[in-house]
Amino acid sequence: MLFNSPIYLLFLAAVVTLYWTVPHRLRIPLLLIASYVFYMSWSPPHGLIYGPLILADSFYFYWLSRAMVRWPQFKKPLLIFGITTELCLLGYFKYANFFARTADQFFSLLHLPAPHAHFDIFLPLAISFTNFVLISYLIDVYRGNEKPHGSFLKFAAYVAFFPHLIAGPIVRASELLHQFDQYPQFNLDRFAQGIHRFCTGFFLKVFVADLIAVYVDMIFGHPELQAFNTSWIAVYSFSIQLFCDFFGYTLMAQGSALLMGYVLPENFNAPYFARNMSEFWTRWHISLSRWLRDYLYIPLGGNRQGKFNTYRNLFLTMGLGGLWHGASWNFVIWGLLNGLFLCVYKTANYFKINRLIPEIGAIFITFHAVCLTRVFFRSATFGDALQMLGSMANPFHWQHIDEQIGSVEQGASFLTPETALLIVVLFMACHWLIRHYRDKLTHPLLREAGIAAAYGIFLYFLLTLGGSSSQQFIYFQF
């Protein structure tokens, strides 16, 4: 039930109508039932199996949180046991085959017989996101930042709330669970803002991300054929696609929640105008960045134990963050590269080199550093990533894309250097307009209309180049 599908629109309309119709005491049960109907509609019969698994997992963490208060002398063992079992669950479903493949490669390097183990495991949708939601809740209870909630019904609805369930934002109890204790009253402005957000996200996904995806898939699918211009086109295009896809999903999730009176946290803030990698990660996937900072980086020691330990903690945090994204060494390398660039920024900041770079130069460097990491994020294999990087580093090899792989769909020939550059310029212009003027529009409807208008210019240009095809959200695979 994709957010950009007709069936979801019907589902959302039915849930919202029922939500504002039924008595207050029935609204949370309605949300819980609707969320599990939404979840279990994915990939049946697997959804029918893994839906109860998430419900059982929610009850397990609900019990652990209450046990911490009942038996405070066992708080730490309960925390360790809860986190360990949750990570083992994630490891089995998401990483069992990854570890098996890695073991095979290790044995092969040593010229030893490899076991060639393979597990026929279906990865439950949203397991990585629910995993982080539950772990953060248990840690917050352990730290005393949260009290164990008294209602399992509300807690289960908080974990499974369908707007954020599949791909975030990663919502903490203080950001959503407490809202379930205060039955929201119908507010026309908030309802209208929800419609605006949903429609803006819908357009970013369907008319920008999905259109660009055709050409991104084409180029990354043939890395051995790429030249300097086409490889850079692919990287720029994928950066735009990923932002519009994920930001579009977030806006649709926020819009869906607002229609029922609930507010989900912001997840993006003009990330491609960040002046350094540290600032980028405060603007991109904000809920994940905060989670990694508060529950991994700071517990590892953060920046409190000298430069070496700070750099070590950055590498560990970003490397594990990369592995969280997917069971592939490419994602680990992507995370480690982000860690490396964060260390480079901190070193440059220490020697005050950053002061020598003008703001536009800092934005240019940061954006291209992000683009370089995305080569590993998007490439199917490590070898493909190296081929793309090799092409990107050879400015003497230029070639028109149609001479390499031809036009796979109507409009594919638009990926010339000139039109690719125009797309990047228009996209960055829209990004800049939103960054500088959205806060000057005080009324929420005007802000949302301003975002839609800015991206509408970009949409008009894209629609003159060809049609689009609906695709799954990128972050659904994580």
List active site positions: 325
Token output for 249: 């999903």
Name residue 462's amino acid. L
Task: Please state whether the peptide bond connecting residue 169 to the residue before it is cis, i.e. omega within 30 degrees of 0.
Answer: yes
What is the sign, positive or negative, of the torsion defined by CA atoms of 94, 97, 99, 102?
Answer: negative
DSSP three-state, residue 207: helix
CB 347: neighbour CB atoms within 10 A? 12
What is the sign, positive or negative, of the torsion defined by CA atoms of 376, 379, 384, 387?
Answer: negative
d(CA 237, CA 399): 17
CA atoms within 13 A on the CB side of 62: 18
CB 329: neighbour CB atoms within 10 A? 18
d(CA 270, CA 436): 10
Q: H or E segment at 51?
A: helix 46-70
Do 163 and 204 contact (CB within 8 A), yes or no? no
b/e 413-442 (16+ beta carbons within 10 angstroms → b): bbbeeeebeebbebbbebbebbeeebeeee
d(CA 32, CA 189): 25
Query: Does residue 92 come out as left (phi exceeding 0), alpha (psi in the -120 to 50 range) or beta?
Result: alpha
Q: What is the dihedral of CA 2, 333, 83, 300, to 10 degrees?
A: -130
CA 52 to each of CA 33, 55, 164: distance values in angstroms, whole numbers, following the listed order: 12, 5, 18
Do 386 and 223 contact (CB within 8 A), yes or no? no
Name residue 234's amino acid. A
d(CA 106, CA 77): 34
Name residue 269's amino acid. N
Do 165 and 134 contact (CB within 8 A), yes or no? no
